[in-house]
Amino acid sequence: MITREEQARQVAHWQVLAVRARSFRWASVFLNRAQRRRVATLYAFCRTVDDLADAEWVTPDAREDLSKLQAALEAEPDGGRLWPERFSWFRELCLECGIDFRVVQELLAGMASDLGVVRLESDRDLVRYCYRAAGTVGLMMCCVLGVRDPRAWRHAIDLGIAMQLTNIARDVLEDAEASRVYLPGERLRTYGVASEDLARGTADPRAVSLVVGDLLEMAEHYYRSGDEGMRFLSSRARWAVLVASRLYRGIGRRLRRRYQSNPMVGRVVVPWSEKVALVLRASAVWVRLTFRLPRTRRTQQLRDYLDGLPYAGG
């Protein structure tokens, strides 16, 4: 029997998921109660540390909270006695589900890199950032959904990377206004644009559209790899992850449809009617992916991008 405090915390975590993550909220209805609780707890932690790194309002206390978490994991493999009390509920989830704390360290490293000015230079820098920001979440999702087959791990990482690439493509304007430029400098220069142009709001929108298109094309490869990993999930979890994946892909497709317009005008949102259609289409995909053998493989280059990162081999 859970305490009132634990019950209140679970409600709070669910509210964070419901309000801050529309795509995941839709997907979570397919999970059982225990899975929903664990997913909501994981999301609440990820949302909290992401907010701590928000350049618009980051404070010394926020930096200290991130530093304490990182210091705890550097001192002891599981954070031990140094783990901040504020996040004790997340440590409990890690111990309950067998989440590797090295993966948590990588997530925190990704969030810490968002503190202040961000400039990424190469595709390698971009993919490694996406691993830390979201590939790690894919790995932790494997744990909270009870997936133990090591063959699933790289697909979970790839789905996380795909979603983060979609986020970056969607949030170009918002990130630039916060002096965060995730579009690789090498790609921008190919189209005659500098990272600083984007941060100042003086970049040629047509050139930025081309780079966004490149990122969405890259994301498609990772989405396909994510699809191949669906067979490792239970039936209900497969539904939930498929729905989340399709809703995120829907964002990318709407971005593609407005390539000829200005990508700096703000976020793209998938309307409710289109979300319903995407959920319905996921049923056919569910059947196809359930019985199809995996075929997607990373290129050598994509494997090299992730060298040395936990569970990223293959």
Residue 258 pLDDT: 66
Phi, psi of 309 (to 5 degrees): -95, 145
Residue with token string 């009617």: 273
Per-residue pLDDT tens over the stretch 70-85: 999 999 989 988 999 8
pLDDT category, 8, cuts 50, 70, 90?
A: confident
Closest CA to 298 of 216, 214, 226, 211: 226
Residue 7 has a pLDDT of 74
Name 291's Cβ contacts closer than 8 Å, sequence gap at least 6.
none
pLDDT at 314 over 60: yes
- pLDDT > 70 in the chain, percent: 79
Task: Specify whether the CB–CB gap between 222 and 157 falls below 8 A.
Answer: no
Tokens of 192: 């005659």
92: part of which helix (H) or strand (E)? helix 88-97
CATH H superfamily, domain 4-305: Farnesyl Diphosphate Synthase (1.10.600.10)
Nearest to 69 by CA among 37, 27, 101, 21: 101
CA–CA separation, 122 and 120 (whole Å): 6
Query: At residue 22, what is the residue type?
Result: R
Q: Using 50, 70 and 90 to split pLDDT, how confident is the model at 253? A: confident
Q: For the segment 128-182, what is each residue's pLDDT rounded down to a tens digit?
A: 999 999 999 999 999 999 999 999 999 999 999 999 999 999 999 999 999 999 9
Phi, psi values for residue 294, rounded to 5°: -70, 140
Domain locations along the chain? 4-305
Enter the pTM of the model.
0.91
Extract the tokens encoding 2. Answer: 């859970």
